[in-house]
Protein backbone atom coordinates (compact mmCIF):
# COMPACT_ATOMS: atom_id res chain seq x y z
CA UNK A 1 0.00 0.00 0.00
CA UNK A 2 1.46 3.35 -1.05
CA UNK A 3 1.97 5.97 1.65
CA UNK A 4 0.04 9.21 1.30
CA UNK A 5 2.42 12.03 0.30
CA UNK A 6 3.07 14.52 3.09
CA UNK A 7 1.92 17.40 0.91
CA UNK A 8 -1.43 15.66 0.42
CA UNK A 9 -1.76 15.12 4.18
CA UNK A 10 -1.15 18.79 4.82
CA UNK A 11 -3.63 19.88 2.12
CA UNK A 12 -6.23 17.51 3.49
CA UNK A 13 -5.69 18.84 7.01
CA UNK A 14 -5.98 22.41 5.78
CA UNK A 15 -9.29 21.56 4.10
CA UNK A 16 -10.67 19.93 7.25
CA UNK A 17 -9.66 22.84 9.46
CA UNK A 18 -11.01 25.33 6.95
CA UNK A 19 -14.36 23.53 6.80
CA UNK A 20 -14.78 24.02 10.54
CA UNK A 21 -14.18 27.75 10.09
CA UNK A 22 -16.35 28.29 7.02
CA UNK A 23 -19.23 26.22 8.38
CA UNK A 24 -19.28 28.16 11.64
CA UNK A 25 -18.22 25.15 13.68
CA UNK A 26 -15.52 27.46 15.01
CA UNK A 27 -17.16 30.92 15.17
CA UNK A 28 -15.31 34.11 14.35
CA UNK A 29 -13.16 35.14 17.29
CA UNK A 30 -13.34 31.75 18.99
CA UNK A 31 -10.34 29.73 20.13
CA UNK A 32 -9.78 26.51 18.21
CA UNK A 33 -9.20 23.21 20.08
CA UNK A 34 -5.76 22.59 21.55
CA UNK A 35 -3.13 20.75 19.54
CA UNK A 36 -3.44 17.40 21.35
CA UNK A 37 -7.17 17.31 20.72
CA UNK A 38 -6.83 18.17 17.03
CA UNK A 39 -4.04 15.64 16.47
CA UNK A 40 -6.27 12.90 17.87
CA UNK A 41 -9.40 14.06 16.07
CA UNK A 42 -7.74 14.45 12.66
CA UNK A 43 -5.38 11.49 12.94
CA UNK A 44 -2.33 13.44 11.78
CA UNK A 45 1.09 14.19 13.22
CA UNK A 46 1.87 17.36 15.13
CA UNK A 47 4.12 18.51 12.31
CA UNK A 48 1.36 18.13 9.72
CA UNK A 49 -1.14 19.92 11.95
CA UNK A 50 1.24 22.80 12.67
CA UNK A 51 1.95 23.33 8.98
CA UNK A 52 -1.76 23.33 8.20
CA UNK A 53 -2.47 25.82 10.97
CA UNK A 54 0.39 28.03 9.82
CA UNK A 55 -0.98 28.01 6.28
CA UNK A 56 -4.34 29.27 7.57
CA UNK A 57 -2.58 31.88 9.70
CA UNK A 58 -0.76 33.07 6.58
CA UNK A 59 -3.99 33.58 4.61
CA UNK A 60 -5.66 35.32 7.54
CA UNK A 61 -8.20 32.73 8.65
CA UNK A 62 -6.42 31.99 11.93
CA UNK A 63 -4.35 34.05 14.35
CA UNK A 64 -1.92 32.67 16.92
CA UNK A 65 -1.55 34.58 20.19
CA UNK A 66 1.54 33.71 22.23
CA UNK A 67 0.57 31.90 25.41
CA UNK A 68 -3.16 32.03 24.65
CA UNK A 69 -3.73 29.74 21.68
CA UNK A 70 -5.03 30.05 18.13
CA UNK A 71 -8.17 31.99 17.23
CA UNK A 72 -10.45 32.29 14.21
CA UNK A 73 -9.64 35.59 12.53
CA UNK A 74 -11.69 35.30 9.32
CA UNK A 75 -13.87 32.99 7.26
CA UNK A 76 -12.48 33.81 3.81
CA UNK A 77 -9.07 34.68 2.38
CA UNK A 78 -10.34 38.16 1.52
CA UNK A 79 -10.48 38.82 5.26
CA UNK A 80 -6.69 38.81 5.34
CA UNK A 81 -6.55 41.66 2.81
CA UNK A 82 -9.06 43.71 4.77
CA UNK A 83 -7.30 42.94 8.06
CA UNK A 84 -3.96 44.17 6.74
CA UNK A 85 -5.60 47.37 5.54
CA UNK A 86 -7.34 47.93 8.88
CA UNK A 87 -4.11 47.33 10.77
CA UNK A 88 -2.77 50.63 9.39
CA UNK A 89 -5.94 52.63 10.04
CA UNK A 90 -6.25 55.14 12.88
CA UNK A 91 -7.99 53.63 15.89
CA UNK A 92 -10.55 56.44 16.05
CA UNK A 93 -11.55 55.78 12.43
CA UNK A 94 -11.84 52.08 13.20
CA UNK A 95 -14.09 52.87 16.18
CA UNK A 96 -16.32 55.09 14.07
CA UNK A 97 -16.63 52.24 11.59
CA UNK A 98 -17.29 49.82 14.46
CA UNK A 99 -20.12 52.04 15.64
CA UNK A 100 -21.85 51.84 12.28
CA UNK A 101 -21.47 48.08 12.01
CA UNK A 102 -22.28 47.24 15.63
CA UNK A 103 -25.33 49.48 15.82
CA UNK A 104 -26.87 47.87 12.75
CA UNK A 105 -25.81 44.40 13.88
CA UNK A 106 -27.48 44.87 17.27
CA UNK A 107 -30.74 45.93 15.62
CA UNK A 108 -30.71 42.99 13.22
CA UNK A 109 -29.79 40.61 16.04
CA UNK A 110 -32.83 41.76 18.01
CA UNK A 111 -34.98 40.91 14.99
CA UNK A 112 -33.37 37.62 13.96
CA UNK A 113 -31.69 36.04 17.00
CA UNK A 114 -32.41 32.42 17.78
CA UNK A 115 -32.18 30.51 21.03
CA UNK A 116 -28.61 29.47 20.32
CA UNK A 117 -27.60 33.11 19.76
CA UNK A 118 -29.16 34.20 23.05
CA UNK A 119 -27.54 31.33 24.94
CA UNK A 120 -24.13 32.21 23.51
CA UNK A 121 -24.50 35.91 24.31
CA UNK A 122 -25.60 35.17 27.85
CA UNK A 123 -22.75 32.72 28.42
CA UNK A 124 -20.12 35.16 27.14
CA UNK A 125 -21.58 37.97 29.22
CA UNK A 126 -21.46 35.80 32.35
CA UNK A 127 -17.78 35.04 31.66
CA UNK A 128 -17.13 38.73 31.29
CA UNK A 129 -18.85 39.51 34.60
CA UNK A 130 -16.89 36.78 36.38
CA UNK A 131 -13.62 38.12 34.97
CA UNK A 132 -14.51 41.62 36.17
CA UNK A 133 -15.40 40.34 39.63
CA UNK A 134 -12.13 38.42 39.90
CA UNK A 135 -9.98 41.23 38.52
CA UNK A 136 -8.88 39.28 35.42
CA UNK A 137 -8.54 42.18 32.99
CA UNK A 138 -7.16 40.11 30.11
CA UNK A 139 -10.02 37.61 30.28
CA UNK A 140 -12.51 40.47 30.59
CA UNK A 141 -11.21 42.05 27.39
CA UNK A 142 -11.26 38.74 25.50
CA UNK A 143 -14.86 38.09 26.58
CA UNK A 144 -15.80 41.65 25.58
CA UNK A 145 -14.49 41.11 22.06
CA UNK A 146 -16.29 37.77 21.84
CA UNK A 147 -19.52 39.44 22.97
CA UNK A 148 -19.34 41.97 20.14
CA UNK A 149 -18.54 39.20 17.68
CA UNK A 150 -21.50 37.13 18.89
CA UNK A 151 -23.85 40.10 18.43
CA UNK A 152 -22.64 40.59 14.87
CA UNK A 153 -23.01 36.90 14.05
CA UNK A 154 -26.53 36.92 15.51
CA UNK A 155 -27.43 39.55 12.89
CA UNK A 156 -27.50 36.79 10.29
CA UNK A 157 -25.95 39.12 7.70
CA UNK A 158 -22.94 37.40 6.08
CA UNK A 159 -21.57 40.61 4.53
CA UNK A 160 -21.69 42.45 7.84
CA UNK A 161 -20.09 39.47 9.58
CA UNK A 162 -17.24 39.41 7.06
CA UNK A 163 -16.59 43.14 7.30
CA UNK A 164 -16.57 42.97 11.07
CA UNK A 165 -14.20 40.03 10.98
CA UNK A 166 -11.67 42.18 9.17
CA UNK A 167 -11.80 44.58 12.13
CA UNK A 168 -11.21 42.01 14.86
CA UNK A 169 -7.56 42.88 15.43
CA UNK A 170 -8.46 46.55 15.71
CA UNK A 171 -11.45 45.74 17.92
CA UNK A 172 -9.09 44.02 20.35
CA UNK A 173 -6.81 47.05 20.29
CA UNK A 174 -9.67 49.45 21.01
CA UNK A 175 -10.91 47.31 23.90
CA UNK A 176 -7.41 47.17 25.38
CA UNK A 177 -6.88 50.92 24.99
CA UNK A 178 -10.24 51.62 26.62
CA UNK A 179 -9.19 49.61 29.66
CA UNK A 180 -5.89 51.47 29.92
CA UNK A 181 -7.16 55.01 29.29
CA UNK A 182 -10.44 54.96 31.22
CA UNK A 183 -10.54 51.84 33.40
CA UNK A 184 -13.47 52.99 35.55
CA UNK A 185 -15.70 53.69 32.56
CA UNK A 186 -14.38 50.71 30.60
CA UNK A 187 -14.90 48.05 33.25
CA UNK A 188 -17.95 49.64 34.81
CA UNK A 189 -19.88 50.40 31.62
CA UNK A 190 -23.16 48.42 31.60
CA UNK A 191 -23.38 48.63 27.80
CA UNK A 192 -23.24 44.89 27.17
CA UNK A 193 -26.03 44.29 29.68
CA UNK A 194 -28.25 46.81 27.89
CA UNK A 195 -27.44 45.38 24.45
CA UNK A 196 -28.16 41.84 25.66
CA UNK A 197 -31.43 42.87 27.29
CA UNK A 198 -32.64 44.61 24.13
CA UNK A 199 -31.67 41.69 21.88
CA UNK A 200 -33.27 39.20 24.25
CA UNK A 201 -36.43 41.33 24.30
CA UNK A 202 -36.54 41.56 20.51
CA UNK A 203 -36.36 45.38 20.57
CA UNK A 204 -34.29 46.57 17.55
CA UNK A 205 -34.54 50.26 18.42
CA UNK A 206 -33.34 49.77 21.99
CA UNK A 207 -30.57 47.44 20.78
CA UNK A 208 -29.28 50.04 18.33
CA UNK A 209 -29.38 52.79 20.94
CA UNK A 210 -27.56 50.64 23.50
CA UNK A 211 -24.88 49.67 20.98
CA UNK A 212 -24.34 53.29 19.94
CA UNK A 213 -23.97 54.44 23.55
CA UNK A 214 -21.55 51.63 24.31
CA UNK A 215 -19.18 52.38 21.41
CA UNK A 216 -19.32 56.07 22.40
CA UNK A 217 -17.65 54.98 25.66
CA UNK A 218 -14.67 53.68 23.68
CA UNK A 219 -14.48 56.87 21.62
CA UNK A 220 -14.41 58.87 24.85
CA UNK A 221 -11.69 56.60 26.22
CA UNK A 222 -9.53 57.37 23.19
CA UNK A 223 -9.76 61.11 23.69
CA UNK A 224 -6.94 62.56 25.78
CA UNK A 225 -7.95 63.70 29.25
CA UNK A 226 -8.39 67.45 29.56
CA UNK A 227 -5.56 67.57 32.09
CA UNK A 228 -3.22 65.71 29.73
CA UNK A 229 -3.98 68.11 26.91
CA UNK A 230 -2.89 71.13 28.95
- pLDDT band at residue 15, thresholds of 50, 70 and 90? very high
Question: Which tops the pLDDT comparison, 223 or 202?
Answer: 202
Read off the pLDDT of residues 118-164 as tens digits, 9 standing for 90 and up. Answer: 999 999 999 999 998 898 888 888 899 899 999 999 999 988 987 88
User: Considering the chain, what is the average pLDDT of its residues?
Assistant: 84
Residue 229: the pLDDT is 34
Quick one: which of 23, 3, 22, 4 has its CA closest to 12? 4
Rounded Cα–Cα distance for residues 73 and 169 (Å)? 8
Is this structure's pTM higher than 0.75? no
Read off the pLDDT of residues 19-53 as tens digits, 9 standing for 90 and up. Answer: 998 887 888 778 899 999 999 999 999 999 999 99
Residue 209: the pLDDT is 96
Rounded Cα–Cα distance for residues 29 and 169 (Å)? 10
Q: Check pLDDT > 70 for residue 185.
A: no
Residue 14: the pLDDT is 93
Residue 137: the pLDDT is 86
How many helices (H) and strands (E) would you count in the chain?
13, 2
Domains contained in the chain, CATH given? 6-72 (1.10.10.10), 78-229 (1.20.120.530)
Amino acid sequence: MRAVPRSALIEGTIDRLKSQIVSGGWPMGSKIPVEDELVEELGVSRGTLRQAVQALVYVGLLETAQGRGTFVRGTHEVDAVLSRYMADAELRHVLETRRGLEVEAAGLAAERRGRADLDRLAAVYERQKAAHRDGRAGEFDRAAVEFHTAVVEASGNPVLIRLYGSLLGSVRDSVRVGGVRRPREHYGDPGHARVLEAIDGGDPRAAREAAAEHVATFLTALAPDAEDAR
